[in-house]
Amino acid sequence: MSDGSRPMIALEAISKTYPGQSAPAVRELDLHVPAGAIVMMVGPSGCGKTTTLKMMNRLIEPTSGRILLDGEDVTAVGGDELRRRIGYVIQQVGLFPHFTVADNVAVVPRVLGWDRKRITARVDELLHLVGLEPGQFRDRYPRQLSGGQQQRVGVARGLAADPAVMLMDEPFGAIDPITRDRLQDEFLEIQRQVAKTICFVTHDLTEAVKLGDRIAVFGPGGVVEQYDTPEQVLTHPANDFVAEFVGSGAAVRRLSLLQLNRLELDEVTVDGVGATNGHPTYRADADGRAVAWAHLPGTGAGDLPPLVTVPLTGTVYDAVDVMLEARAPLVAVVDDEDRPKGALRWEALVRELPTKGRP
């Protein structure tokens, strides 16, 4: 987290009062978004999170306050020019139905006056990035795509002019849960490659926890109740409002924050190589991949559970999921080549999970 550096987006005492309303939708709000971070804006409906997002690119003009983009005061510059510098992704209704996929992605480059060759190259590059084969999808119309594919096109369009900042307004809101989960994973993968500064509105706390480097919890009356890392929001809610919003599922949600590579895992050994030293022992195939448990301390040879694995890049949540699914009291944590690096036992979960320093 680049807390010390200059924020990419800074809102300073920003307020919005809609005409004809006495109470402001957003009140005296300060928010600093660090460069390269994903900031998730969550909260109940009508708490001003979307209004705040739309003030960042001045789709909604603030009543008072200042907006700084990479240190530059953009409160008064031309709105259209500002928006061309900022990516914008919304639910899939935002695709133009009379434009092909390529034309949809090319909207901003075209407005910016890029030449045709450069636009074509950029469109193909972006379609590749979001996992849509250009030759197959370039000339399709949005209605010929699934919801998930439409959303990928939306992300590609937001990235088209390579903006430093992306604003995303519930982009995965209207997508079925399974596709949404996959899109979120792809989104994180894309973000690893493009490293944008992203503000992301969602009403789904699980999504916020999964994607966010930081979470801004909005409360009634358009104020930020807490602005902190997902772990802090879940473990140390700033006040009763946040505690209630985070809800009773916080302990389980926290599991999805903890990556397995940050845990001190139980050691495991390969069967037939030296002493077991009381460690779980597994049988491996020729490539070193785990096949089955050979010996577990305190378990008879006839009661050995199935050997299940979870990747080192997964979270404790994934490990729990795998264990519950297979009814196994432990799970082998494996690297990219499926070689066990350690094991996580069920009993360890209810104790303080031993963590290493950040990798």
**Which residues bind to another protein, rule: CB under 8 A?**
54, 57, 59, 80-81, 83-88, 90-91, 93-98, 107-108, 111, 141-143, 157-158, 167
Output the smallest distance, CB 20 to another protein, in A. 14
Residues 6+ apart with CB under 8 A from 244: none
Name the residue nearer to another protein (CB basis): 153 or 348.
153
Contact call for residues 126 and 109 (beta carbons, < 8 A): no
Could you please report the per-residue DSSP string of 234-269?
HHS-SSHHHHHHH-TTHHHHHHTTSBGGGB-PBP-E
Output the smallest distance, CB 96 to another protein, in A. 6
Helix (H) or strand (E) holding 331: strand 330-334
Output the smallest distance, CB 270 to another protein, in A. 55
Name the residue nearer to another protein (CB basis): 42 or 160.
160
Output the smallest distance, CB 61 to another protein, in A. 12
Contact call for residues 344 and 331 (beta carbons, < 8 A): yes
Q: Residue 23: which of 287, 220, 234 has the closest Cα?
A: 220
Give SS3 for 133.
coil
State the number of CA atoms in the 13 A half-sphere of 5 facing the CB.
11
Output the smallest distance, CB 74 to another protein, in A. 13
Name the residue nearer to another protein (CB basis): 60 or 250.
60
Name the residue nearer to another protein (CB basis): 174 or 252.
174
Beta-strand pair 214-219/26-34: unpaired
Please give the C-alpha separations between residue 12 and each of 83, 87, 122, 289, in angstroms, as whole numbers: 19, 21, 35, 54
**What is d(CA 343, CA 328) in angstroms, rounded to the nearest whole number?**
12
Please name the amino acid found at residue 162. D
Output the smallest distance, CB 97 to another protein, in A. 2
**What is d(CA 196, CA 10) in angstroms, rounded to the nearest whole number?**
15
Output the smallest distance, CB 13 to another protein, in A. 24
